[in-house]
Structure 1
Amino acid sequence: MEDFQTISTFNFAHEIIVLKSILQNEGIPFLFQNENLISIDPFASIAYGGIHLKVHRNDLEKVQAILDNLNNNLEIV
């Protein structure tokens, strides 16, 4: 786990659902630190600094491109 770095942080568990599916489909190893804790107690997000997406440093650029694509194409109806 020492080669894994935090690339993004999310406040609530529902924000990572689509991203988790994309990362699994791409075969990218990842870890959402604090995911279970914040799923159980959403108010703990502030105390623990949110849900941290950690990926291997070799995948940082690929994951950043995925995050950028999600942020640019997200439309709320």
Structure 2
Amino acid sequence: MKEFVTIAVFTYPHEIAILKHLLIESGINFFFENETMTAIVPMYSFALGGIKLKVHPNDIETVKTILKDFSSNTNLRIV
């Protein structure tokens, strides 16, 4: 996990709900740093620097494409 890099940062747990499923479907190795703490105490998100999506460097381009499609698809947006 040391070689994983931060590719995106989110503020609230609900922002990553659908994204997590898209990454799993694509077979991407990932984890969300600070996900558990912000689920318990949402306002800690600001103190911790947000929920950080960490991926392996080999998957960066694929994840960038998924993030771009995710943000541009209004049917997948939660808020």
TM-score bucket of the superposed structures, by smaller chain: over 0.9
Q: Which moved more, 1:46-55 or 1:66-75?
A: 66-75
- Paired position in structure 1 for 2:58: 58
- Paired position in structure 1 for 2:33: 33
Distance 1:63 1:27 in 2: 11
- Aligned-pair RMSD on alpha carbons? 1.5
Structure 1 residue 58: deviation in Å?
0.2
1:9 aligns with 2:9: yes
1:47-77 CA distances to partner (integer Å, 9 max, x unpaired)? Answer: 0010000000000000000000011112569
- Paired position in structure 2 for 1:69: 69
Structure 1 residue 2: deviation in Å?
1.8
Identity rate, percent: 46
Listed as ranges, the gaps of 5+ residues in structure 2 are none
TM-score (norm 2): 0.92
SS at match of 2:64: helix
Distance 1:5 1:74 in 2: 27
1:15-60 CA distances to partner (integer Å, 9 max, x unpaired)? Answer: 0000000111111110100000000000000100100000000000
Listed as ranges, the gaps of 5+ residues in structure 1 are none
Distance 1:6 1:20 in 2: 15
Report the number of matched residues.
77
- Paired position in structure 2 for 1:19: 19
